[in-house]
Amino acid sequence: MSISRPNLLSPLAKQKFKRFKQIRRGYWSAIFFLALLFLSCFAELMINNRALIVKYDGEFYFPTYGAVYTGKDFGLDYEYEVNYRQLKQKFEQDITANWVVMPLVPYSEYENDLIEGEYPPYPPSWASQHYLGTDTAGRDVLARLAYGFRIAIWFSLVLLFFNYLIGVTIGCMMGFFGGWFDLLSQRLVEIWSNIPFLYVVMILSSIIIPGFWSLIAIMVIFGWMGMTWYMRTATYKEKEREYVMASRALGASTSRIIFRHILPNSLSIIITFVPFAVAGGIGALTSLDYLGFGLPAPTPSWGELISQGTENMESWWILGSVTASLVTVLVLITFVGEAIRDAFDPKKYTIYE
Amino acid sequence: MPSTRKNTQSMSRNMFKTMSIRAVFTRAVFKKAVSILILLPAIAIAQEQAPQLPQDLVWQTNNQAPTFADPNAKTGGTFRTFTLSFPLTLRTVGPNSNSSFRGYILGNQFGLVGMHPETEDIIPELATHWAYDKDGKTIYYKLDPQARWSDGKPITADDYLFTIEFMRSKHIVAPWYNNHYTKMIKNVVKYDEHTIAIEGATIKPKKDLHYFYGLNPTPKHFYKLDKDFVDNYNWKIVPNTGPYQISKIKKGKLVEFKRKKDWWAKDKRYFKNRYNVDKVRVKVIRDYNVAFKHFEKGEIDTFGLILPTYWHGKATGKLYDNGYIHRAWFYNETPQSSSGMYLNQDDELLKDINVRIGLAHAINVQKTITTVLRNDYERLNSGYIGYGEYTNKNIKAREFDLQKADEYLTKSGWDKRGDDGIRVKSGKRLSLRISYSRKEHNDRLVVIKEEAKKAGIELNLQLFDPASGYKNVLEKKHQIAWMGWSTGFRPAFWEHYHSDNAHKPQTNNITNSDNKDLDAMIMQYRVEVDEQKRIQLAHKIQQFVHDEASYIPTYSVPYTREGYWRWMQLPKHLGTKTSSSLFDIFSSSTGGLFWIDAELKKDTLKAKKKGKKLTPVLIKDTRYKSGAVKVKKDKLEKNKAAAK
C-alpha cells in the first residue's frame, strides 16, 4: 500500500483529468479562460497610455513599469507625465531618429481622453483607437473592461480562497467531531446565513470606504457558510468508511486522518464548486459596483460600466460591450464547471433533462 | 445664540411655511436656511386698550417701479400641468402638510408686501403703506381696505392677530411653528381695522425686516381652533387672498384651480395683466418620464428641461424641429448654491495657505464644464453669487494654471516629485481625499483627479452615502469636502467662517476658518443696520474668504430651461430677473406672466395632424447671465450645439 503519495496525483485523478480533456467544450473553455487570466496579468503591455519602448536621443526607455517620465525628460515643456501618444506624433512629424512604440490600445483605464466641444461618451472609432468607444467621462471602454476583468477575477479568486478556507475547515470539524459541536455550529451557521448580506454591505460601506481587501473581508464574513454543509456531509460520510477506521486502528492522529484521508477524498466536492463560486464572486462584485457599494471610484469595474450603460442607453457601446464580456466570461466559467462536474462524476455519462 | 444651519432641508421647508412675503421669495425661501436669532420670552398680544401710533412715522409706498407683465396678454383657457403625488391633506400646517403640493396652496396666499422681481424694491401686496420704527425691529403696515378673502369677507387687522394665535396654538400640531412664532415675532399690535405693527425679535436692516417679520393673514372667521383641528381641516378649502382658488378635487387624480371673477387685486399696478388663464388643472402623474410622454402628447402644456439628459437628449426630434413645441433657456439671477471644495484648514497638509492656493490652481473646473458637463454649467466665482448688491463681483475664482500651482507648491516645500509623479516632501506624498456623496458626480471628479495629477497632486475619491457623508463633514473629519450649501435671502457668514464655529463638530464652519479680523467683520456685518455699510462689509468678508483660499468654487446652474407648446405665450422678455421658472403659476412675485392663445392652439394641433412644418423656436436668453451685457435671442432653424 503506497499511501504516502498524495491522492491528487493518483491514477484516479489522472483519469479524471483525462476525462475532463475529453469534454472538448469545457476543456477549450478552460484554456481560453486561463489564457485570458494570464494575459490580464500583463494588461499594461497591451492596454496602456504609457509607451512600450521609447527611443530618444540614442537611448531606450521602457516606461510601462516603474517611475514616471515627465515631459521634460523627452524635451517637452511640462513637468507632469508624458503624453506618449502626442510624443509619438511629434517624433513622427519632426522626422528624427526618435520613435515610440505604443501598446495596441494606447489608453489607460483612468485617463480621460476628452475632446473640447464634444461631449462624452464617444462612439467606437478606429481612428482614435477607442475600439469600444469611451464611457461618460471619456475613458476607454476596452481599457476599463480589461482592467475591470483583472480586478473582478482576482477578487473572485481571493474571495473563493478565504471562503473555502473557513467553510471547509468548519464544515470538516462539524462532520468529524459531530455531537454537540455539530448541533451548535449548525444553528450558528443557520442564523448567520439569514443575515441579509446586501443590507449589511450597504450599511458597512456607508461607515467604512470599502477597498479591495476590506470588501473581501466583508464578503468572506458573510459568505463562508455555503461550503460548510457540503463538507459536513462529506466528512460524515468519509468518516464512517473502512479506510478511516483502518488508519485509526494503525494509530493515525486526528489531523492526519483529516488532512491525509478525508480531505483528499472530498476534494471532488470542493473542485466541482470552484468554477461556480468564481462566477458567483464576479457576479457579486459586479452587482455591488452597479449599486455603488463596491470598490470606490475610479476603480475600473464592470458594475460601474453597466450602471453607466443603463443610464445612457443611446450610447449602446457601453452596455453592449460590458454585457457581451460578462456573458462570455460567465459562460466560459460555466462550461468549465460543467466539464469538471462531469469529469468527477463516477457515472460516465449524465443525461440532463 | 444663532443656531447653525444643521438641518438645512427641513428648515427651508419650515421657512417656506412662515414667511409672510413668502411668495415673493419663493426661490430664495426654497433654498433658504436662515440663522434664527434670539431666544426672548413671548409677550402676550397686546390689544386691550387702543394703542397710539407713534407720531413721527414716515409712511412709504411704491407705485413707481416698472411693471413687468405684458399688456397684450389674453385671458382664458386652461393651463394643464402635473404633480408627482397627490397631497395627503390640504392643510399647510400640521402633520403630513409638508408635501410639494402646498406650494400651490401657499402660492395663493399673498403677503403684506412683496419684492419687485427686477428692482428688488419693496412693493405693496396686502398692505398699501409701511413705516419703520426707530427701534430698528418694528414695522407698521397700512392694510389695503379693498383686499378680500375669497369668500368676500374683508381682510382686517384681526386676521393678523389671529395668525399669531393660530401659529402658537398647540392644536395645529406643528411645534416648529409654535416655536418660531413665539421666538421670532415678539408682538403684533392692532391700531385700527387696517393698521398694524409687527415687532420682531432683533434689529435688522429695513428691507430684511419685511422678509423676516412679515406675516400672512389667517382667516379668523373661518377657523375653529380645537383639539380636532388636524382632522377637521384635512380637506377644507381655506379662504385665500391670491388670484385662484381650488374649484375641484378628485382624490388621487387631480386638483383644479379657478381664477376668481372679481379678484380684489386684478387692476393693481403690479398684478394687472397677470394670472391670465381661467383654470389650472394639476394632474397627478407619478413618474417623471411618464409625465414627459404626456407633455409630448400635448396633454400637458409645459415641461421643465433643466436636466441635460432632457434638454440635450429626450427633448429633441420632430415635435421640436417642426415647431410644435418651443424651448427656452432663460438665465436668471438668484442666489446660487455654493458648490465647491471646502478645504479643512485643520488638516496637516491644508493648513498651509500656499498648498491651498496651489491646489486651487490645480483644479480644472473649466475642463469638467466643457466636457462632461456638456458646457451646461457656469464656473462659479465665489460662494456668494446671485445676492444682488451683496455679491462681490470683483472676485474671480482661481483658474487652472500649472505654472502658478507649481509656484505656490514650491514655495511651501513641495518641489520634488516621486516616481509616480506625485509631489513629495520629507517622505510624505501630496495626497488628499475628496469626500463626496453623489455617485452621479463621479464623472466630474475623475476629470479633476486626472488633471490634478499633472500638478503633482493625488486626489483620492471617497464616496459616502449622503447621510454619513454629511456627518463626516460636520465632524470635520474631511480633508476636502465636495458639496454645496443651500442659499439664503442674504449671504450668511457667521456660521461658515466665524471662529466660534471652528475646530468643533456639528457646526457649519467646515473650513475651520479662524481669524480675529474676519470675526470682527462678521460680527459687524450681523448688527450693521445701514444697508450700504452692510454691503461693503459683505464684500470685504467675501474678499477675505477668497484670499484665505479655503474654498474652491466649482459651478452653478444659473438658469431655467423649459419646453412649452406653441400656444403658450410669454411676455416679450420671457421672465424677470428673479424668475426661477417661466411658467410659475401663482406666486405673487413672478407668477402668472404667461397666457394661452386659443387660436394658435387650434392652428398648431391642425398643423401637427397634417405633419406641416412650422418655424422651430429655440430661445436662449442671456440677459441675466453673469457678465452678459446684451439680449441674445436667437430663433434658430436648428441649433446643432444645443440640440446635440
pLDDT, one tens digit per residue, over B505-527 is 888 899 999 999 999 999 999 88
Please give the helix or strand (H or E) that residue B644 lies within, else none: none
Which three cell numbers, joined as nine digits, stand for B115? 419684492
d(C-alpha B369, C-alpha B399), whole Å: 13
From A134's Cα to the closest Cα of chain B, the distance in A is 12
Residue A322 Cα distances to A46, B33, B355, angstroms: 19, 44, 41
Per-residue pLDDT at A348: 64
Residue B462 Cα distances to A206, B14, B350, B438, angstroms: 11, 32, 17, 10
Please give the helix or strand (H or E) that residue B335 lies within, else none: none
d(C-alpha A258, C-alpha A247), whole Å: 11
pLDDT band at B370 (very low <50, low <70, confident <90, very high): confident
Which three cell numbers, joined as nine digits, stand for A303? 458594475
Find the farthest-apart pair of alpha carbons in chain A and give their distance in angstroms, rounded: 84
Residue of B nearest to A290 (CA): B439
Cβ contacts of B589 within 8 Å, gap of 6 or more: B23, B24, B25, B26, B114, B115, B117, B576, B578
Q: Flag if B421 and A68 touch (Cβ within 8 Å).
A: yes
Instruction: Supply the DSSP symbol for B73.
Output: P
Whether the ipTM is more than 0.95: the answer is no
Q: Residue B153's CB: how many other CB atoms inside 10 A?
A: 14
Contact B424, B430 (CB under 8 A): yes
Helix residue ranges, H only, B233-306: 288-297
Helix residue ranges, H only, B419-500: 442-454, 466-474, 494-497
d(C-alpha B605, C-alpha B600), whole Å: 8
Which three cell numbers, joined as nine digits, stand for B547? 484670499
Q: Answer positive or negative: Cα dihedral of B512, B514, B517, B520.
A: positive
Q: Residue B13's CB: how many other CB atoms inside 10 A?
A: 17
Which three cell numbers, joined as nine digits, stand for A159? 474571495
Q: Flag if B447 and A114 touch (Cβ within 8 Å).
A: yes
Per-residue pLDDT at B163: 95
Is B372's Cβ below 8 Å from some Cβ in A? Answer: yes
Q: Answer positive or negative: Cα dihedral of B91, B93, B99, B100.
A: positive
Q: B620's torsion region: left (phi>0), alpha (psi -120 to 50) or beta?
A: beta
d(C-alpha B327, C-alpha B574), whole Å: 12
In chain B, the N- to C-terminal Cα span, in Å, equals 52
Contact B388, B120 (CB under 8 A): yes
Chain A to chain B Cβ contacts (< 8 Å) = 84
Q: Is the pLDDT of residue B630 over 80?
A: no
Is B258's Cβ below 8 Å from some Cβ in A? Answer: no
Q: Flag if B454 and A112 touch (Cβ within 8 Å).
A: no
From B344's Cα to the closest Cα of chain A, the distance in A is 19
Tell which of B443, B459, B460, B477 to mutate to test the A interface (max A CBs under 10 Å).
B443
Q: Is the pLDDT of residue B499 over 60?
A: yes
Residue of B nearest to A111 (CA): B450
Q: Flag if B402 and A80 touch (Cβ within 8 Å).
A: yes
From A206's Cα to the closest Cα of chain B, the distance in A is 6
In B, which residues are within 8 Å of A292 by CB distance? 439, 463
Which three cell numbers, joined as nine digits, stand for A286? 459586479
Pick B450's closest partner by Cβ from A111, A116, A292.
Answer: A111
Q: Answer positive or negative: Cα dihedral of B38, B43, B45, B47.
A: negative
Give pLDDT tens digits for A132-179.
Answer: 999 988 899 999 999 999 999 999 999 999 999 999 999 999 999 889
d(C-alpha B493, C-alpha B535), whole Å: 13
Per-residue pLDDT at A9: 61
Per-residue pLDDT at B286: 84
Pick B446's closest partner by Cβ from A68, A78, A112.
Answer: A112
Per-residue pLDDT at A350: 59
Q: Is the pLDDT of residue A7 over 60?
A: no
Pick B465's closest partner by Cβ from A116, A120, A206.
Answer: A206
pLDDT band at A233 (very low <50, low <70, confident <90, very high): very high
In B, which residues are within 8 Å of A111 by CB distance? 450
Is A203's Cβ below 8 Å from some Cβ in B? Answer: no
d(C-alpha B88, C-alpha A341), whole Å: 59
From B295's Cα to the closest Cα of chain A, the distance in A is 21
Strands (E), B208-366: 244-250, 254-259, 279-284, 302-304, 325-331, 338-343
Q: At what angle do helices A302-311 and A316-344 cross, to 10 degrees?
A: 140
Q: Residue B74's CB: how many other CB atoms inside 10 A?
A: 15
Q: Residue B196 in 3-state DSSP?
A: strand
* DSSP letter string, B574-621: -S-TT-S-TT--S-TTT-S--EE-HHHHHHHHHHHHHT------EEEE
Give pLDDT tens digits for A93-131.
Answer: 887 788 899 999 999 999 888 887 678 888 898 888 899
Among residues B262, B234, B266, B295, which one has the least CA distance to residue B105? B234
Is B415's Cβ below 8 Å from some Cβ in A? Answer: no
Q: Flag if B456 and A80 touch (Cβ within 8 Å).
A: yes
Contact B63, B38 (CB under 8 A): no
Q: Residue A180's CB: how many other CB atoms inside 10 A?
A: 8
Q: What is the pTM of this model?
A: 0.76
Pick B420's closest partner by Cβ from A68, A114, A297.
Answer: A68
Question: Is omega for the bond preceding A196 within 30 degrees of 0, making it cis?
Answer: no
Virtual CA dihedral for B469, B471, B474, B477, nearest 10 degrees? -70
Is A86's Cβ below 8 Å from some Cβ in B? Answer: no
Which three cell numbers, joined as nine digits, stand for B513? 476658518
In this structure, the strands spanning B122-124 and B78-83 are unpaired
Which three cell numbers, joined as nine digits, stand for B569? 405665450
Give pLDDT tens digits for B4-51.
Answer: 333 333 333 333 333 333 333 333 333 333 333 333 333 444 445 568
Which three cell numbers, joined as nine digits, stand for B416? 520634488
Pick B371's closest partner by Cβ from A79, A111, A119.
Answer: A119
Q: B96's torsion region: left (phi>0), alpha (psi -120 to 50) or beta?
A: left
d(C-alpha B234, C-alpha B377), whole Å: 42
Contact B155, B145 (CB under 8 A): no
Q: Is the pLDDT of residue A30 over 60?
A: yes
Find the farthest-apart pair of alpha carbons in chain B and give their distance in angstroms, rounded: 84
Is A310's Cβ below 8 Å from some Cβ in B? Answer: no
Main-chain phi, psi angles of B568, to 5 degrees: -80, 125
d(C-alpha B46, C-alpha B48), whole Å: 6
Main-chain phi, psi angles of B556, to 5 degrees: -140, 165
Give pLDDT tens digits for B427-437.
Answer: 899 999 999 98
Q: Flag if B446 and A116 touch (Cβ within 8 Å).
A: no
Is A68's Cβ below 8 Å from some Cβ in B? Answer: yes
Q: Residue B141 in 3-state DSSP?
A: strand
Question: Is omega for the bond preceding A300 within 30 degrees of 0, making it cis?
Answer: no
Per-residue pLDDT at B144: 95
Average pLDDT, whole number, for chain B?
86
From B446's Cα to the closest Cα of chain A, the distance in A is 7
Chain centroid, CA B289 distance in Å: 25
Contact B78, B159 (CB under 8 A): no
Give pLDDT tens digits for B132-166.
Answer: 998 888 999 999 999 999 999 999 999 999 999 99
d(C-alpha A72, C-alpha B466), whole Å: 43
Residue of A nearest to B373 (CA): A119
Identify residue A127 by its one-letter amino acid code.
A
From B464's Cα to the closest Cα of chain A, the distance in A is 6
